[in-house]
């Protein structure tokens, strides 16, 4: 099977590199398995090559279940091979797996580039005159070295994938490099082997998802704010938990779990942002298994539900309402605990406190209250 624009009788195989960990993109999963507009990134990438077979995907051995999920609704011949410790090793493993298929041409593509259009055809056409081809974009900004020396930008290009090759030539090139080799891309392997290289027109939309902001820019997101409020009664004891920090206060808070009023309010704020009920729906106080449990568990659960919706937590804010204990000496520790639980940077977490000037149940020292807001972005 091949695209109608392909040269007649040419067999074209596709090798997709998806063995990386992609942690810079955040989200808790390798970026190729994160959701983008309701689909895994790898699923969207595979659909770009629906007219080609076979498709070999180099994956991490731990990701087989995720790979199967990404392929679940894709037609065609999609196979996997265990990738290596480097991109170069993963490509070599995929190329070796293609030997039995004997393709004329192989297109090697990054799994984290799911926005292909005319680029594939441009690469294939360029391979009628060259042994290797890559889509490239001009550099429009002025380019300098670190000491300010100008560089001729007309001699430079931003290179994308898929990069295409005559299979026998690139396979031979990979056979001749040491197992320890680690190249930035496959065009470099072709260059060192003396293969002729042609550059064709790339596409500015063909971005490689690398950082969290790339996912944000690629999605149609709307901003939502959830709010939460909680109260716990003061009781006898030596210490209490506020926002994940144990404080020796000479009293405790009454509750089924650790009675962390701040984290309970914040958990409700996150659940409210995705209309997922409240903390009691997920962790009913009638269930003994939650007795004495650290409330960071509740908070992490709410964050997991938020991210399962494809949403991004932008900022959280907790206000503790009490006459005592003094919150300020513990505020930075509280922020750190919340940041770690939600996998956020400290500048995305606010904790503050206020009193009611002696009025009401908090003013009389009968209890502590907390209010919280959570700002998220979610696919529209």
CATH superfamily of the domain spanning 221-379: 2-C-methyl-D-erythritol 2,4-cyclodiphosphate synthase (3.30.1330.50)
CA distance 337 to 4: 56
> Residue 68 corresponds to which tokens in the numbers above?
């199967």
Backbone CA torsion sign across 180, 59, 343, 375 = positive
Which residues belong to CATH 3.90.550.10 in the chain?
A: 12-217
Res 345: pLDDT: 85
Q: Which residues, given as ranges, of the chain have pLDDT below 70? A: 1-9, 22-28, 37-38, 216, 219-220
Helix axes 296-308, 331-342, angle to 10 degrees: 40
Which residues belong to CATH 3.30.1330.50 in the chain?
A: 221-379
Res 21: pLDDT: 72
Say if CB 165 and CB 185 are below 8 A apart. no
307 closest CA partner among 342, 268, 266 = 342
> Residue 23 corresponds to which tokens in the numbers above?
């942690």
Res 2: pLDDT: 45
Res 4: pLDDT: 44
Other C-beta atoms closer than 10 Å to the C-beta of 72 total: 9
Res 22: pLDDT: 59
pLDDT tens profile 333-362: 999 999 999 988 888 999 999 999 999 999
SS3 for 52-82 is CCCEEEEECHHHHHHHHHHHCCCCCCEEEEE
User: Please, is 375 exposed, middle or buried when counting C-beta atoms within 10 Å of its C-beta (0-12, 13-18, 19+)?
Assistant: middle
pLDDT tens profile 276-299: 999 989 988 888 888 889 999 999
Res 7: pLDDT: 56
> Residue 31 corresponds to which tokens in the numbers above?
């970026």
Other C-beta atoms closer than 10 Å to the C-beta of 182 total: 12
CA distance 87 to 13: 18
Q: Full-prediction pTM beyond 0.75?
A: no
Instruction: Extract the runs of DSSP E, i.e. beta strands, from the chain.
Output: 12-18, 35-36, 39-40, 55-59, 78-82, 105-110, 132-138, 143-144, 150-151, 157-159, 163-166, 197-201, 221-235, 239-242, 245-248, 252-253, 312-321, 349-354, 367-379
Res 212: pLDDT: 77
Determine the CATH number of domain 12-217.
Answer: 3.90.550.10
Res 136: pLDDT: 95
CA distance 271 to 103: 51
């Amino acid at each position: 099977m091949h695209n109608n624009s392909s040269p007649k009788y040419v067999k074209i195989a596709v090798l997709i590199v998806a063995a990386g960990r992609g942690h810079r993109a955040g989200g808790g999963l390798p970026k190729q398995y994160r959701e983008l507009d309701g689909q895994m990134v790898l699923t969207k990438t595979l659909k770009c090559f629906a007219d080609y077979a076979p498709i070999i995907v180099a994956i991490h051995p731990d990701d087989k279940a995720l790979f199967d999920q990404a392929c679940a609704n894709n037609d065609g011949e999609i196979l996997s091979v265990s990738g290596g410790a480097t991109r170069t090793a993963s490509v070599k493993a995929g190329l070796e797996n293609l030997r039995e298929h004997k393709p004329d041409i192989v297109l090697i593509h990054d799994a984290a580039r799911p926005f292909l259009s005319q680029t594939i055809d441009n690469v294939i056409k360029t391979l009628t005159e060259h042994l290797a081809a890559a889509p490239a974009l001009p550099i429009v900004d002025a380019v300098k070295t670190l000491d300010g020396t100008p560089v001729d930008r007309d001699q430079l290009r931003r290179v994308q994938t898929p990069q295409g090759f005559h299979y026998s030539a690139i396979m031979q090139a990979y056979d001749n490099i040491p197992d320890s080799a680690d190249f930035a891309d496959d065009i470099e392997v072709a260059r060192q082997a003396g293969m002729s290289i042609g550059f064709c027109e790339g596409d500015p939309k063909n971005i490689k998802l690398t950082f969290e902001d790339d996912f944000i820019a690629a999605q149609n997101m709307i901003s939502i704010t959830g709010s939460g409020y909680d109260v716990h009664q003061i009781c006898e004891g030596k210490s209490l938990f506020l926002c994940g920090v144990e404080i020796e206060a000479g009293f405790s808070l009454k509750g089924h779990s650790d009675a962390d009023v701040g984290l309970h309010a914040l958990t409700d704020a996150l659940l409210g942002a995705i209309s997922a009920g409240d903390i009691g729906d997920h962790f009913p106080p009638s269930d003994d298994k939650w007795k004495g449990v650290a409330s960071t568990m509740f908070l992490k659960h709410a964050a997991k539900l938020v991210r399962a919706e494809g949403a991004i937590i932008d900022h959280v804010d907790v206000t503790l309402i009490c006459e005592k204990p003094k919150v300020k000496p513990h505020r930075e520790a509280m922020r750190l605990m919340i940041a770690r639980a939600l996998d956020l940077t400290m500048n995305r977490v606010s904790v503050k406190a206020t009193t009611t000037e002696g009025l009401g149940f908090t003013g009389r020292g009968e209890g502590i209250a907390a209010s919280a807001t959570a700002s998220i972005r979610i696919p529209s």
